[in-house]
Amino acid sequence: MPISSNYFLKRAILALAVVVGVAIVSYVILMVTPGDPAAKWAGNPRGPGASKAIETARQELGLDQPIYVQALNFVIKVLSGNIGISIAYKIPVSRVIYTGFMSTLELLIVTYAFSAPLGVFLGLYASLRRGSFIDSFVMSLGALLASTPTFWLATMILTLLLQVGFVPYGRVSPGLLIETGFKPITGFILLDSLLQRNLVVFADALIRLIPAALAVSVYPIGALARLVRILVAEALLEDYVKAAVAWGIKRSTIIKTFVLRSITPSIVQVAGLSFAYSLVDAMVVEAVFGREGLGSILLDSLYKSDFRVAIGLIAYLSVFYIVVNTLVDLLQAHIDPRVKL
């Protein structure tokens, strides 16, 4: 895997610049919006001593300093990984973000576990039947799925399920966690329940996750189906494929050995980038289904003027995008020796 010695240095500098820029801009924007974090930190006091209590809270939060000093201090906390205590939850901000991130990541992993293979299969199936009704149908379906508003689809799925008496709200039933003695280990409820052989919690969490995963899956299915269809159609016109056909090599062997291998780097790149893009869709869907993920945490922090959680979450999301892009580049370079980093 040809990787230059300067690649990781450039990535680190880029990541630092992006995180610092995102943190500063987010901090300034949130500080000028309505809402007083100091009042929330002080417990929304009323009466004669309210003003003094709020002023004390402002000093504790560092909000009595100039805005540029506040922003600089907050950036230092973000880079150190210790943002402090959440104003709304009264626990470390890192713990709040970690819990929500594991929930959102679990949703994304389950979504792509079936949507990525399905999208590749549909694109391959359509490309082998170019010009047919199936080809036109898959391409049209892919365009429709890739452009479907995730929020609207999640709302429609939830409404339909409510009509039939099923309420997939929340990540898991709190009562089941208590009754079965479930204990979190990794933050992934599905994995933790399997490790503890708690099939009741596993089934409940999976049933609640499937509707949300279906809503998030439409974009990767549509995007990958259209991409694979185009890539395979172009690969079939290459000279080496025509030569393989002339030599009488089986069609299945040509597809597996030559065509799929040649388009794999492009599939990996698009799938990885769409995985990062789908994080936003997952956050929106979580808000619709009431899942305890990054989406609900971000909305709750904005509503409760918890600037520490909101800005920290936005900054760490930028790190997530950079990490995913870096991993995609490394994987593509490993698969395709022509790619140099």
Task: Specify the higher pLDDT residue, 46 or 273.
Answer: 273
* Rounded distance between C-alpha atoms, residue 326 and residue 323, angstroms: 5
- Residue 337 reports pLDDT greater than 80: no
Tokens for 340, please give them.
Answer: 């140099």
The pLDDT score that the predictor gives to residue 278 is 87
Q: What pLDDT, on a 0 to 100 scale, did the predictor assign at position 336?
A: 67
Instruction: Count CB-CB contacts under 10 A for residue 333.
Output: 18
Decide if pLDDT at 2 tops 70: no
pLDDT greater at residue 243 or residue 226? 226
Instruction: Express as a percent the part of the chain with pLDDT over 90.
Output: 16
Of residues 111 and 324, more confidence is placed in: 111
Domains and CATH numbers, the chain: 1-88+304-341 (no CATH), 96-302 (1.10.3720.10)
Segment holding 186, helix H or strand E: none
Average pLDDT for residues 164-181, to the nearest whole number? 84
Tens-place pLDDT, residues 141-163? 989 998 888 989 999 999 998 88
**pLDDT at residue 304, rounded to an integer:** 78
Q: Answer yes or no: is pLDDT of 42 > 70.
A: no
pLDDT band at 254 (very low <50, low <70, confident <90, very high): confident
Token pair, residue 268, equals 């990996």
208-221 residue pLDDT tens: 999 999 999 999 99
Confidence label for 340 from pLDDT (cuts 50, 70 and 90): low
CA separation for the pair 219, 158 (Å, rounded): 18
Lowest mean pLDDT across 90-104, 112-126, 141-155, 254-268: 254-268
Which ranges constitute the DSSP H helices of the chain?
7-32, 37-41, 50-61, 67-80, 93-127, 133-147, 150-163, 174-180, 189-195, 199-235, 239-246, 251-253, 260-289, 294-303, 307-335
Per residue in 298-332, pLDDT (tens digit) is 888 888 778 888 888 888 888 888 888 888 878 87
- For residues 214 and 161, what is the distance between their CA atoms, to the nearest angstrom? 13
- C-alpha 180/C-alpha 201 separation (Å) is 8
- Smallest CA-to-CA distance from 118 within 223, 32, 195, 194 is with 223
The pair phi, psi for residue 99, each rounded to 5°, is -60, -45
pLDDT tens digit sequence for 14-34: 888 888 888 888 888 877 776
Question: What is the reported pTM?
Answer: 0.84
